[in-house]
Amino acid sequence: MACAWSDAVSSSAEVPLPGERIEEYLLDQLDRLSDALEQALFCPEPATEVGAKLVAQGFTGEQCLGRTVEILGHALLERPELRTVDGLVSKVVSLLGALTSGYVAALGRRALADRGDWFREVFDTAPVGMELRRLDGTVAEATGALIELRH
């Protein structure tokens, strides 16, 4: 199953791992999800973490989340060791929802960090004078160009 998952997502992923390591990584995540389904007290939280880990590992291509949900939906329902889990379908749906939430939240955090990095680079290297002010009007930061103009 990890092989099918890897095939489904690796073409649109930016994962810095060789093919066999991708399969190992995805198998570990599949095992975490299966373990969550087998717990006496079901908690979908591990799936939220799996979603975040997928983003951290670079599984962020345009089709990665959709393919992941599709593959895992089938895989988890078809795993022989899970067939005896009460309410399996409902639990898998909850698990996939949690995975999606964790994925989207991690993607949002990454985008916000990227924008911050972009702003910092533009601000620090700007050839024009700029300053950032606090709400009380005091200068918090100034570009090198502005500092040179003032001296």
How do residues 21-38 score in pLDDT, each as one tens digit? 888 889 999 999 999 999
Query: Could you tell me if 134 and 103 are in contact, meaning their C-beta atoms sit under 8 angstroms apart?
Result: no
DSSP code at position 139: E
As given in the structure block, the two tokens for residue 103 are 């994925």
Closest CA to 132 of 91, 123, 77, 9: 123
pLDDT tens figures, 101-146:
999 999 998 887 777 777 778 878 888 888 888 899 998 888 888 8
As given in the structure block, the two tokens for residue 73 are 């939906």
